Amino acid sequence: MASTHRVARISAALTALGTLSMTAIPAASAGPLSDRGPVPSAAQTLGADKPSPQVLSALQRDLRLTPTQAAARLVNEAEAGTRAGLLHSALGTSFAGAWVQGATSATLTVATTDRADLPLIRAQGARAVVVRWGMNDLQKVKQKLDLAAQRAGTTDAPVWYVDVRTNRVTVQATSRSAARAFVKAAGVATDRTAIRLSAERPRLLKDLVGGDAYYIDAAARCSIGFSVTKAQQQGFVSAGHCGRPGSRTAGYDQTDQGTFQASTFPGKDMSWVAVNANWTATPDVRAASGQRVQVAGSVQALVGASVCRSGSTSGWHCGTIQRLGTTVRYAEGTVNGLTQTNVCAEPGDSGGPFIAGAQAQGVTSGGSGDCTRGGTTFFQPVNPILGDFGLTLKTTSQTTATPVQNSGQTDVWSAGRVYQEGATVKLGTALYRCLQTHQGQSAWAPDVTPALWQRM
């Protein structure tokens, strides 16, 4: 039987959140009242209840949805993220992953290693499955593969990741022998791994308002990711393989633009560029036909959620998130912590933005295929970029707070800091636990955003 402590903890959080349904919720609905006014639903907090026409249009085209299905999907995905966070907090080490599925993402599935958790999961409107390995166990297996890749390796096994749907760490390789050799070199148990055969070899997409082109040292082209600020300095984030610190950039119009301030590649694939006074940071991402969509935050989406990408070569395309925390071995080096999608991309799209509804997700790293035949694309999540470089994402409700480093203890909540799922903060005399990874914003204080924070 699930522990009384766990049941009480999630019940209290759901009481604060209000009753949610895994179907679209009208924008006018609201949760219980607090001393600061009506508590918004998860969809309202993340802006999923009022999506841009450009996002809806692209989802209809690329995921083959009706207008009603596209709108419902965005709301359902926002609500599912909060429910998954609550259940992760309640289940603890027995939690084994969560994902959404269906045309409108109406089904949230949560996996557990403890059969006693099934009633608790189902009570929150989620489909429950019992699996053998917990998320912590699988992450340890993947970490061993990551370490083995640093010692030696072959591009014949270029991708590996925790697959929550199969409850295994999957190694993608061109042959079974290559995959088995890699698993053996890492010293991991074969019963926790699986092999996926594929001829694909991901490549960086560097060959040559988010999604616009920029040029590096007059020798290469990449795409702007998201606008950011650091104190009073404006700029943008992009892929690390696009340039090194000190590299000069020119904008889409070939005029002088800025300088790379920091860049990490391999290991991670992230960079940021400080721009001169001729350029202004905006929360905009370029969509189809010159239209723009705006970024409202950086809440990380679940596996199965819809995501759209903009790039200076192939433009605006959508698909779904397939895996989180994927490791990819490019010819130029290995990158950890990427998100795998089935969105297409082409050379020159590197660094361009991925967005889920109105929430920034990451910047294009590399992939395989193209936008004629389709393909696989990986992105570097944006929250680690913001955290590593001390940047503030430019959003529609801009916070002016300067990001600060986490002390490793319970801290007072502050806007501008990147909070990982499971982090704890203090606001007033109350303690809160983070449900979904995001960068804090002025309007997202824990006491009024139960979509992101659980009172402890």
Catalytic residue among 49, 114, 163, 269: 269
CB 318 within 8 A of CB 371: no
- Dist CA 76 CA 21 (whole Å): 8
Catalytic residue check, 117: no
Catalytic residue among 88, 241, 317, 438: 241
- Dist CA 241 CA 261 (whole Å): 13
Catalytic residue check, 269: yes
Catalytic residue among 306, 350, 365, 368: 350
Does the bond joining 266 to the residue before it have cis omega, within 30 degrees of 0? yes
Cβ density class 304-328: b for 16+ within 10 Å, e for less = bbbbbbbbbbbbbbbbbbbbbbbbb
Catalytic residue positions, numbered: 241, 269, 350
